């Protein structure tokens, strides 16, 4: 039996999480496995009900489960609440509370969606890269941080980019291990020409590489990497980088593939794992059954793969998604003339029908 906590969260998080749950239940039926699913509030939904974006009980439930699924959090309704109560805080608290230090964000080009990419076909066809983003350190969590008054001369605001040897070692090791399942190439991205934290990053990644001589390692500065991603994305296999750089580069690589609505993620630690679509809560289309559930569904596939070692189930979900795309079904975000536009829940049904 597998225990899963689901946080639908806010906005389209709710409708896409429902489709992921649909797929997980279908997998359970077909393979005679018991997926015990418990739902909890998170983000704005939790703030409205409990006055905090995540309750200690919700975090405890997540910590006790075998895997956690999250839809998305946030929305304009909560844009003006005090910083400590913002829905995004729940996300950071959850990541930190689960100590899921490695955020895997694959960006894969589906041949059916090649016309959705803003880049030329020959540049993006065949793109298949994996960003491994450090998720519980760096400037997101570093101290000191704050805003101070400068006695009538305005204010001073500051954050700290902090990394320790231990933190870099574990994310580097994870990236090299993942590269072994792929094309055995790791690109480490930093800003070592300027930042001390990046100098340590580069040094430690280079040391850890000694344990992985079968993997090719190269280093790139983040500005160069941002450029290379649009110039020649096929050169990349695994990109390992810091929390902030990974946040930015993963949105950029999402766009290579045409829609952020297609991109799943897994956040792995030594004891817990969190699965979420890369996209946000899309308040503008929320509640209209118009979201793209494929990123969520593919995140559920990653759960099967990384948390439960159920490779066949993960594969079956990926194949089902490909088949539905091949048949021409599209949600609004990936719709093109000549294809068949379907709602979020319908897309979920179509994939569920094909899951073996
Ligand atoms: C992401 C998001 C989050 C992040 C925000 C919502 C806190 O942009 O998951 O990429 O910056 O990590
Ligand atoms: Mn982001």
For the CA of 250, the closest atom of ligand 1 is 10
Please indicate, yes or no, whether residues 212 and 230 belong to a single structural domain of this protein: yes
- Please state, in angstroms and as integers, the Cα–Cα distance from residue 267 to each residue in 67, 103, 131, 188, following that order: 10, 4, 11, 18
Task: List, for residues 262-318, the tens digit of each pLDDT value.
Answer: 999 999 999 999 999 999 999 999 999 999 999 999 999 999 999 999 999 999 999
Query: Is 354 domain-assigned?
Result: yes
Closest ligand 1 atom to residue 95 Cα is 12
Predicted local distance difference test score (pLDDT) of residue 29: 97
Assess if residue 68 is contained within a domain. yes
pTM to 2 decimal places: 0.95
pLDDT above 90: residue 260: no
Looking only at the bridges linking them, the beta strands covering 340-341 and 329-330 are parallel
Q: Are 127 and 252 within one domain?
A: yes
Mode of pairing for the β-strands spanning 128-134 and 102-108: antiparallel
pLDDT of res. 234: 97
* Residue 13: band (very low, low, confident or very high) from pLDDT cuts 50, 70, 90: very high
Domain annotation covers residue 264? no
Q: For residues 193 and 131, state if they share a domain.
A: yes
The verdict on 169 and 185 lying in the same domain is yes
Angle between helices 165-180 and 196-209 (to 10 degrees): 50
In a domain, 27, yes or no: yes
CA of 72 to the centre of ligand 1 (A): 10
Pocket flag, ligand 1, residue 276 (CB < 6 Å)? no
Same domain, 113 and 252: yes
For the record, the structure tokens of 10 come out as 């806010």
Which of 214, 236, 259 finishes a domain?
Answer: 259
Q: Tell me which residue has tokens 């700290």.
A: 160
Residue pair 127/233 in contact (Cβ under 8 Å)? The answer is yes
Domain that holds residue 352: 1-99+271-356
Are the beta carbons of 282 and 291 closer than 8 angstroms? yes
Could you tell me if 51 and 90 lie in one domain? Answer: yes
User: pLDDT grade, residue 147 (50/70/90)?
Assistant: very high
Give the pLDDT confidence score for residue 244 in this predicted structure.
Answer: 98
Q: Report whether 203 contacts 188 (CB < 8 A).
A: no
Judged against a pLDDT cut of 90, whether residue 259 lies above it is answered with: no
- Which ligand sits nearest to residue 280's alpha carbon? 1
Tell me the CATH number at 319.
Answer: 3.40.718.10
Say yes or no: CB of residue 88 within 6 Å of ligand 1: yes
Question: Band of the pLDDT at 327, cuts 50, 70, 90?
Answer: very high
Question: Does the pLDDT at position 126 exceed 90?
Answer: yes
Pocket test residue of 10, 11, 90, 91 for ligand 1, highest count of atoms within 8 A of CB: 91
Residues 6+ apart with CB under 8 A from 154: none
In this structure, is residue 316 part of a structural domain? yes
Q: Are residues 249 and 350 in the same domain?
A: no
Looking at the structure, tell me whether residues 127 and 253 fall in a common domain.
Answer: yes
Average pLDDT estimate for 127-133: 98
Give domain status of residue 355, yes or no.
Answer: yes
Q: Read off the tokens for 123.
A: 């540049």
pLDDT at 258 over 90: no
Confidence label for 131 from pLDDT (cuts 50, 70 and 90): very high
16: DSSP letter: H
Assess whether the C-beta atom of 70 lies below 6 angstroms from ligand 1. no
Decide if 227 contacts 122 (C-beta within 8 A). no
Instruction: Looking at the structure, tell me whether residues 69 and 11 fall in a common domain.
Output: yes
Rounded to the nearest 5°, which phi and psi values hold at 105? -125, 90
Q: Which of 259, 281, 315 is the last residue of a domain?
A: 259
What is the tens place of the pLDDT at every residue in 331-355?
Answer: 999 999 999 999 999 999 999 999 9
Average pLDDT over residues 95-105: 97
Average the pLDDT over 176-201 and give the result. Answer: 98
- Among residues 259, 280, 314, which one ends one of the domains? 259
- Residue 35 shares a structural domain with residue 170: no
pLDDT, position 354: 97
Residue ranges of alpha helices (H) inside 149-284 are 165-180, 196-209, 222-231, 243-256
Q: Hey, which of 88, 95, 103 would you mutate to test ligand 1's pocket, going by the most ligand atoms within 8 Å of its Cβ?
A: 88
Beta bridge partners of 219: 188
Q: In whole angstroms, what is the distance from residue 325 CA to residue 62 CA?
A: 33
User: Across the chain, what does the average pLDDT equal?
Assistant: 96
Identify whether the C-beta of residue 253 lies closer than 8 Å to the C-beta of residue 232.
no
Residue 91 near ligand 1, beta carbon < 6 Å: yes
Mutate to test the pocket of ligand 1, among 247, 263, 295 (most ligand atoms within 8 A of CB): 247
CA distance 316 to 312: 6
The reply to whether 265 falls in a domain is no
**CA 14 to the chain's CA centroid:** 17
Looking at the 3D structure of the chain, how many domains does it have? 2
- 285 lies in the same domain as 156: no
Q: What is the pLDDT of residues 190-204, one digit of tens each?
A: 999 999 999 999 999
Per-residue pLDDT, averaged over 169-185, amounts to 98
Section 18-42 average pLDDT: 98
Asked, for residue 160, whether it belongs to a domain, the answer is: yes
Instruction: Check whether residue 119 and residue 238 sit in a common domain.
Output: yes
Ligand nearest to the CA of 75: 1
Find the range with the poorest average confidence among 19-23, 44-48, 82-86. Answer: 82-86
For residues 21 and 37, the answer to whether their CB atoms sit within 8 Å is yes
pLDDT in tens, 47-89: 999 999 999 999 999 999 999 999 999 999 999 999 889 999 9
Percent of the chain at pLDDT > 90 equals: 98
Centre a 10 Å sphere on the Cβ of residue 184 and count the other Cβ atoms it contains: 15
């Amino acid at each position: 039996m597998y225990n899963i906590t689901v946080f639908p969260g806010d906005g389209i998080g709710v409708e896409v999480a429902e489709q992921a749950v649909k797929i997980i239940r279908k997998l359970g039926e077909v393979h005679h496995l018991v997926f015990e699913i418990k739902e909890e509030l998170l983000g704005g939904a939790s703030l409205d009900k409990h006055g905090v974006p995540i309750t200690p009980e919700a975090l405890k439930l997540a910590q006790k489960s075998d895997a956690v699924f999250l839809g998305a959090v946030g929305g304009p309704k909560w844009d003006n609440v005090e910083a400590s109560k913002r829905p995004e805080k729940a996300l950071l608290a959850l990541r930190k509370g689960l100590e899921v230090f490695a955020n895997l964000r694959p960006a894969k080009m589906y041949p059916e969606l090649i016309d959705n990419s803003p880049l030329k076909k020959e540049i993006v066809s065949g793109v298949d890269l994996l960003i491994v983003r450090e998720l519980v350190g760096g400037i997101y969590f570093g101290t000191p941080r704050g805003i101070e008054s400068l006695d009538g001369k305005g204010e001073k605001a500051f954050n700290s980019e902090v990394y320790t040897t231990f933190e870099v070692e574990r994310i580097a090791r994870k990236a090299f291990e993942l590269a072994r399942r792929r094309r055995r190439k790791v690109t480490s991205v930093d800003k070592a020409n300027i930042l001390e934290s990046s100098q340590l990053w580069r040094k430690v990644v280079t040391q850890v590489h000694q344990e992985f001589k079968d993997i090719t390692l190269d280093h790139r500065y983040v500005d160069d990497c941002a450029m290379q991603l649009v110039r020649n994305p096929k050169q990349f296999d695994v990109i390992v980088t810091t929390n902030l750089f990974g946040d930015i580069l993963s949105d950029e690589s999402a766009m290579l593939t045409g829609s952020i609505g297609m991109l799943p993620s897994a956040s792995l630690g030594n004891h817990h794992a969190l699965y979420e679509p890369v996209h946000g809560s899309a308040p503008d289309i929320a509640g209209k059954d118009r979201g793209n559930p494929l990123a969520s569904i593919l995140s559920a596939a990653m759960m099967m793969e990384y948390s439960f070692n159920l490779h066949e189930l993960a594969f079956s979900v990926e194949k089902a998604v490909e088949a539905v795309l091949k048949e021409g079904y599209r949600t609004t975000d990936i719709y093109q003339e000549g294809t068949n536009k379907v709602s979020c829940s319908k897309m979920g049904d179509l994939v569920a029908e094909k899951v073996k």
